[in-house]
Amino acid sequence: MRRLKKDLGQHILLSKGVLKKLVEFLEVSGDDRVVEIGGGTGNLTREILKTDVREVFTIEIDPSMVEELKKIEDRRLKVIEADATTFDLCSLGQDLKLIGNLPYNVASLIVENTVRYRRCVSLALFMVQKEVALRITGKSEPGWITLFVNTFYRTEYVMSLPPKFFFPRPRVESGVVRLVRREGYPDIETDRFKTFLTKFFSRRKRKLKNLFPEDSLKEAGLDPDLRPHQLSYDEILKLYNVLER
Ligand code: SAH
């Protein structure tokens, strides 16, 4: 096998069974546009192309992998050499399904970019570091990204995978998450929301009254002596909306 670049998170998914399962979870139908993140050697790309998908885009940052991917002969496939952490997903279509065995060092950034382009992404299926998968789905202690994602997407922890399914083996366990966009998700400005959430989750030990104006807390119906981790998702969202008014 060709030399793999550790710094680009190149851990190739070897298991045919897992590749097949991942594509099944994507529930591809004939008029779908699928966007793969990090095509690599094309293992997953080829599996997606086995469905009757209408069009597949694969976004890959490594020029030598791009060269490999371009060898796949299928008129439905378009190979894009770009950085998926900032790529404008809406430039590819309006109702996209995303899939990827993500490079773990930038997985959170790719999830963040997905949320940024939520207008065009109805579903996403990502393999990430298990710890990140638990965080995104709110199964471990929530962080800013938990609320950031779950406000717009219903999240599901699909399955865990041990390192032996990859080459080279990563040092950590992996987890698959599925994001299904919520119907009527709130109209919220991405950057302002992120700024609020990172502030909210960075000072867990402070009381709310030391973080936010007391009249806003009152308006949101919150006890100013509470600490951030004592609030429910709905209460946090309510506070954000009051602060934005
Ligand atoms: N899909 C393949 C490879 C996954 S490894 C498989 O499952 O076997 C992750 C891939 O993401 C690598 O090919 C790596 O080069 C690519 N990658 C890393 N950083 C990226 C970025 N910022 N944007 C797009 N692709 C990236």
Give 129-141 pLDDT, tens digit per residue: 999 999 999 999 9
Contact present, 107 and 126 (Cβ < 8 Å): yes
Q: Is the pLDDT of residue 39 over 90?
A: yes
Residue nearest to atom 22 of ligand 1 (CA): 83
Pocket test for ligand 1, best of 60, 79, 98 (most atoms within 8 A of CB): 60
Do domains 6-181 and 203-244 share one topology? The answer is no
Cα 23 to middle of ligand 1, angstroms? 17
Q: Pick the atom of ligand 1 nearest to 8's CA.
A: 18
Q: Is the pLDDT of residue 13 over 90?
A: yes
Q: Encode pLDDT of 166-186 as tens digits.
A: 999 999 999 999 999 999 999
Residues 6+ apart with CB under 8 A from 234: none
Q: What is the pLDDT of residue 14?
A: 92
Interstrand relation of 96-101 and 33-37 (parallel, antiparallel or unpaired): parallel
Q: Which of 25, 26, 67, 16 is nearest to 46 (CA)?
A: 16
Q: Encode pLDDT of 205-224 as tens digits.
A: 899 999 999 999 999 999 99
Residue nearest to atom 7 of ligand 1 (CA): 13
Q: What is the pLDDT of residue 222?
A: 97
State the pLDDT confidence band at 2, using cuts at 50, 70 and 90: low
Pocket test for ligand 1, best of 35, 62, 165 (most atoms within 8 A of CB): 62
Q: What is the arithmetic mean of pLDDT over 187-200?
A: 96
Cα 10 to middle of ligand 1, angstroms? 6
Q: What is the pLDDT of residue 1?
A: 53
Q: Which of 175, 145, 180, 139 is nearest to 159 (CA)?
A: 175
Q: What is the pLDDT of residue 194?
A: 97
State the pLDDT confidence band at 190, using cuts at 50, 70 and 90: very high
H helices of the chain, where? 16-26, 43-48, 63-69, 107-116, 130-136, 144-150, 190-202, 214-219, 233-244
Q: Encode pLDDT of 87-142 as tens digits.
A: 999 999 999 999 999 999 999 999 999 999 999 999 999 999 999 999 999 999 99
Q: What is the pLDDT of residue 3?
A: 79
Cα 1 to middle of ligand 1, angstroms? 16
C-alpha separations of 13 from 128, 158, 164, 189 in Å: 12, 16, 9, 36
**Which residues does a 6 A CB cutoff place in the pocket of ligand 1?**
8-13, 37-41, 43-44, 59-62, 65, 83-85, 101, 103, 106
Domain ranges of the chain: 6-181, 203-244
C-alpha separations of 215 from 6, 178, 200, 208, 239 in Å: 50, 38, 17, 11, 11
Cα 83 to middle of ligand 1, angstroms? 10
CATH topology of domain 203-244: Helicase, Ruva Protein; domain 3 (1.10.8)
Q: What is the pLDDT of residue 203?
A: 86
Which amino acid would we find at residue 194? K
As its CATH architecture, domain 6-181 has 3-Layer(aba) Sandwich (3.40)
- Record the tokens describing residue 213, joined without a space: 């104006």
